[in-house]
């Protein structure tokens, strides 16, 4: 029998460590002006990344993030066995023409803004299950392509309600691998990466896969409220499955609930007897200075949690400020068609445990 890696009702763990081998965050101008600017690998002041239009820009941004993460892992694209990628655009346009153009076996995934959680868990499962020695997970979003897809062309200059979030222009990529891949990575990677790590490794220690959760919210300008129930449900399931409490994590970091959603999330968990506020963060609230940058409820998009993880969150783990975090990207499952037909907006969220390990190599 293969080792069982199921925990409780909907969680998984890994028999051996799954290591973060490479990471990259590529963002646009507004994100580069925000509080996390020093954690990003590349900031493009034009938001175009050399592309001809916003879709092309997003594809190129994603390709840059993937290529940089692979390079920082000390690998070439051909040495990556599987690539999990997703974005917000219909038919995964950015991924198919971006990361998909690399010579790597490709699996497209979609979970709206929760996609980084999904792709990272699937990449880790592929490695943990023995199907790949290393795999990459990448997602992206672009403010301009998302506005065109979901709302109004930018030229219309439409007004945004205060509950609305601002789609992050950014792509985050991670390469994960097993112990043999780690050894190759440490031998091959550039000196700056070796120096940053020292004898510290960050591992993907487990996760919880969420269910679609629909509280009947229909307001696409308040996606935090749509996603908060899914985030609370997956965190509750996670804590039950692993028999932990919020304080067992240095931080529990939701994807892009924003101001409104983060309060609902904490309330819902409070009703279940979990006090999450002392460790609660939200990528959507971390990425912009909401006062100075006029982003209303915060950042959102597949790229929001991805670049915050690949940049800021992993930095804090490597530096030792945190030892264990729960990363909970959240997605609002709406499409332009469903929204215009007046459907509800179901939410989904997945939880990923990341841990700092000394002497990991």
3-state secondary structure of 87: strand
CB atoms inside a 10 Å sphere around CB 147: 17
- What x-and-dash track marks residues 278-317 binding a copy of itself by CB under 8 A? ----------------------------------------
Which of 224, 258, 284, 346 is the binder for a copy of itself (CB under 8 A)?
346
One of 42, 101, 196, 248 touching a copy of itself (CB under 8 A): 101
Query: Would you count residue 341 as binding a copy of itself (CB under 8 A)?
Result: yes
Q: How far apart are CA 187 and CA 21, in angstroms?
A: 12
Q: By CB under 8 A, tell whether 241 contacts a copy of itself.
A: no
**Which of the stretches 21-29, 267-275, 294-302, 340-348 binds a copy of itself when contact is defined by CB under 8 A?**
340-348
Nearest-approach distance from CB 186 to a copy of itself, in angstroms: 18
* Angle at alpha carbon of residue 282, lines to 166 and 125, rounded to 5°: 105
Residue 214 interacting with a copy of itself (CB under 8 A): yes
Does 334 sit near a copy of itself (CB under 8 A)?
yes
**Structure tokens of 242?**
């692993």
Q: Which is nearer to a copy of itself, 16 or 190 (CB)?
A: 16
Closest CA to 141 of 13, 297, 27, 249: 27
- Maximum distance among all alpha carbons in the chain? 60
Which listed range, 118-126, 184-192, 265-273, 317-325, lies at the site for a copy of itself (CB under 8 A)? 118-126
**Cβ atoms of 212 and 348 closer than 8 Å:** yes
Radius of gyration of the chain (CA): 19
Distances, alpha carbon 294 to alpha carbons 30, 43, 287, 289, 298, in Å: 11, 20, 12, 8, 9
The distance of closest approach from Cβ of residue 33 to a copy of itself in the complex, given in angstroms and rounded to an integer, is: 28
Cα–Cα distance between 60 and 349 in angstroms, integer? Answer: 27
Does position 111 interact with a copy of itself (CB under 8 A)? The reply is yes
- Note whether 242 binds a copy of itself by CB under 8 A: no
Torsional class of 57: left (φ above 0), alpha (ψ -120 to 50), beta (otherwise): alpha
Nearer residue to a copy of itself within complex by CB, 158 or 340: 340
Q: In the set 1, 187, 195, 359, which binds a copy of itself (CB under 8 A)?
A: 1
**Token pair of 351, please?**
């939880």
337 binds a copy of itself, rule: CB under 8 A: yes
Q: How far apart are CA 143 and CA 103, in angstroms?
A: 28
Check residue 50 for interaction with a copy of itself (CB under 8 A). Answer: no
- Among positions 163, 335, 357, 361, the unique one binding a copy of itself when judged by CB under 8 A: 335
Q: Identify which of residues 130 and 198 has a Cβ nearer to a copy of itself in the complex.
A: 130
Q: Applying CB under 8 A, which part among 159-167, 204-212, 275-283, 320-328 lies near a copy of itself? A: 204-212
* Of 168, 103, 90, 106, nearest in space to 138 by CA: 106
Strand partners, 204: 18, 354
Locate the DSSP E strands across 262-304: 280-282, 299-300
**Sole residue written with tokens 């506020």:** 277
Binding mask 59-98 for a copy of itself (x = CB under 8 A): ----------------------xx---x-xxxxxx--xx-
Beta carbons within 10 angstroms of residue 44's beta carbon: 21
Task: Give the separation between CA 1 and CA 175, rounded to whole angstroms.
Answer: 28
List the one residue from 12, 57, 226, 260 that touches a copy of itself (CB under 8 A): 12
Q: How far is the CB of 189 from a copy of itself (least distance, A)?
A: 22
Binding status of residue 2 toward a copy of itself by CB under 8 A: yes
Please give the residue ranges that form the binding site for a copy of itself (CB under 8 A): 1-6, 10, 12, 15-16, 53, 55, 81-82, 86, 88-93, 96-97, 100-101, 103-112, 118, 122, 125-126, 128-133, 149, 179, 209-212, 214, 333-338, 341, 343, 346, 348
């Amino acid at each position: 029998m293969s080792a069982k890696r199921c925990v409780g009702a909907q969680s998984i763990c890994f028999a051996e460590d799954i290591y973060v081998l490479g990471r990259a965050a590529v963002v646009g101008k507004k994100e580069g002006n925000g509080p996390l600017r020093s954690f990003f690998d590349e900031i493009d002041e034009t938001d175009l990344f050399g592309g001809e239009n916003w879709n092309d820009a997003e594809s190129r941004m994603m390709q840059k993030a993937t290529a940089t993460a692979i390079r920082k892992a000390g690998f070439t694209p051909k040495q990556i066995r599987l690539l999990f990628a997703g974005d917000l655009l219909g038919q995964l346009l950015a991924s198919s023409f971006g990361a998909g153009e690399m010579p790597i076996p490709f699996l497209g995934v979609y979970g709206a803004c929760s996609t980084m959680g999904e792709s990272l868990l699937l990449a880790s499962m592929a490695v943990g299950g023995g199907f790949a020695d290393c795999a990459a997970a990448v997602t992206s979003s672009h403010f301009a392509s998302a506005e065109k897809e979901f709302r109004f062309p930018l030229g219309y200059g439409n007004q945004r309600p205060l509950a609305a979030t601002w789609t992050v222009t950014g792509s985050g990529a991670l390469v994960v691998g097993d112990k043999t891949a780690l050894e190759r990575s440490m031998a091959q990677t550039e000196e700056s990466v070796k120096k940053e790590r020292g004898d510290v490794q960050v591992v993907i220690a487990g996760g919880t896969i969420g269910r679609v959760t629909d509280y009947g919210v229909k307001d696409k300008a308040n996606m935090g409220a749509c996603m908060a129930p899914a985030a609370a449900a997956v965190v509750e399931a996670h804590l039950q499955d692993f028999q932990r409490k919020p304080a067992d994590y240095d931080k529990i970091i939701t994807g892009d609930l924003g101001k409104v959603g983060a309060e609902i999330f904490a309330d819902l968990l409070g009703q279940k007897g979990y006090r999450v506020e002392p460790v609660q963060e939200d990528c959507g609230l971390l990425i912009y200075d909401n006062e100075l940058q006029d982003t209303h409820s915060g950042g959102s998009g597949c790229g929001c949690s991805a670049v915050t993880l690949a940049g800021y969150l992993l930095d804090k783990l490597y530096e030792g400020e945190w030892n264990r975090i729960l990363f909970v990207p959240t997605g609002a499952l709406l499409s332009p068609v469903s929204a215009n037909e007046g459907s509800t907006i179901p939410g989904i969220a997945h939880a990923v445990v990341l841990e700092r390990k000394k002497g990991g190599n």
